[in-house]
Amino acid sequence: MAPGGPLEKTIQEIQMGMMTQGEGGASGSGDLVGGVSLPKSALLELKRFYGFDKPIWQRYLIWLGGWPRAIKHRNIVFETDQAEIEKYVGKGTYVTVRKDGDNLSVYNTDGTENNIYSASLDNPEDVEDDGRYHGAIFETEFSGIFTGNLGKSYTYQQPVTEVMKPRFKVSILLGLSGWILSYLICIPLGIRKALNHGSPFDFVSSVIIFVAYSIPGWALGGVLLVLFGGGSFWDVFPLGGFHSPKDVWDGLSLWGKFWDQLHHMILPIIAWTIASFAQLTVLMKNSLLENLSQDYIRTAFAKGITEKRVIWMHAMRNSIIPIASGIGWIIAIVISGSYFIELVFNIDGFGKMGFMAILDRDYPITMGFLVIVVVIRLLANIISDIALALVDPRIRFK
């Protein structure tokens, strides 16, 4: 429903090329933009290439893999009084296409019916009104997300899975690194704040984490680049990218690559994890404070159990239940919700790829990104349930 798309973009590029070559100004029955008209046959070819020649419900089933997809189109034209034509389909093979009313049948040269190719007539509105019958011969296959085929990118002209693979690895490395760092810092910090509730340390740390929480990660990333990226202040970290340029990267040793990678990851990870610091820290603190006020904790103290044992063996186990329930959700966010930060740091990650695909109207990547994100969130929910069952003795899978 959004204006523009790959079809319109390609039409404009063709028309601009025609105008540049001095072929503009022609009038016809095609799509007219900027004084340049494309013939209907060319528009139909573009629609077939992008799969827009079918109703939306059929395109959806084709995308799922539950409806045969037409591939390898070849145009055919019947004269007014012609009922049969011979068509070359490649690799030294010819087939015969017979017309019976509005139906087309494909046969081998020996007269037997061909089971590989199909044929159909085009709608008269989609082709030139020259008194002839236009159509196409094509092969079919069941190919969609249920068969592992996410389509072919309009922008990169590669399978969507091949475009995603290297970028998904980048987002996983940055996202999981930030996720682990958040838990390693926020849980101990939340515990200390709970044990020192109301102290100057608790007050100052709360101010810091809530100020950090109020700053969007991508905005903080821009500030960090200005401060530490060699702009007006300190030249400490690189201005962006996942690692050094390829010619430099290929010449580094294994240890050199490790430090170069770490050097490029510090600022993005800080921006990536800043929002989760306040959530995890306050959640850990409040959960521990609530459990420390429960009757079973007072009973444990009354029995003479040491404070350390009461806190770490009794209160902590129940306090991490809310933390465990959100593990999967955080994993889904750090992997698939990082596009603005990747954009700021010029990192070719999974999130940036999905964001740019929307701007470029690259539908296969956009829909493939949606599928992967949904799958990640479903798996993340399962991980949360498993983690919750591991830490909460009241929950059992049966």
CATH assignment of the domain containing 285: 1.10.3720.10
Residue 267: the pLDDT is: 86
Are residue 371 and residue 242 in the same domain, yes or no? yes
Burial class (CB in 10 A: 0-12, 13-18, 19+), 284: buried
pLDDT digits (tens), the chain, 398 positions: 677 788 887 877 777 777 776 544 444 445 544 445 677 777 888 888 888 888 889 999 999 988 888 888 888 888 888 888 888 888 788 888 888 888 888 888 888 888 888 888 888 777 777 778 888 888 888 888 988 888 888 888 889 999 998 888 888 888 788 888 888 888 888 888 888 888 999 899 889 888 888 888 888 888 888 888 776 778 788 887 788 888 888 888 888 888 888 888 888 888 888 877 778 888 888 888 888 888 888 888 888 888 788 888 778 878 888 877 777 666 666 665 577 788 888 888 888 888 888 888 888 999 998 898 888 888 888 888 888 888 777 777 66
119 vs 166: CA distance, rounded Å: 39
Are residue 111 and residue 221 in the same domain, yes or no? no
pTM strictly above 0.85: no
Structural domain ending residue among the three candidates 88, 114, 149:
149
Are residue 185 and residue 284 in the same domain, yes or no? yes
Are residue 328 and residue 194 in the same domain, yes or no? yes
42 vs 13: CA distance, rounded Å: 13
Are residue 245 and residue 319 in the same domain, yes or no? yes
Are residue 130 and residue 215 in the same domain, yes or no? no
105 vs 137: CA distance, rounded Å: 10
Helix axis angle, 254-292 to 217-228, nearest 10°:
130
Q: How many domains does the chain have?
A: 2
331 vs 136: CA distance, rounded Å: 48
In a domain, 155, yes or no: no
Residue 30: the pLDDT is: 52
Are residue 233 and residue 126 in the same domain, yes or no? no
Closest CA to 332 of 376, 280, 277, 388: 376
In a domain, 30, yes or no: no
Residue 332: the pLDDT is: 65
| Residue 104, domain extent | 73-149
258 C-beta neighbours (distance < 10 Å), count: 11
Pull the structure tokens for residue 126. Answer: 């989609």
Structural domain ending residue among the three candidates 149, 169, 185:
149
Residue 57: the pLDDT is: 92
Are residue 103 and residue 131 in the same domain, yes or no? yes
Residue 27: the pLDDT is: 45
Closest CA to 318 of 290, 357, 350, 295: 290
In a domain, 221, yes or no: yes
Give the phi and the psi of residue 174 in degrees, each rounded to 5: -70, -45
Residue in the structure block whose two tokens are 């490790």: 258
Are residue 249 and residue 341 in the same domain, yes or no? yes
Provide the residue type at 297 as one letter: I
H/E stretch holding 32: strand 31-33
Q: How far is CA 50 from the centre of its chain?
A: 20
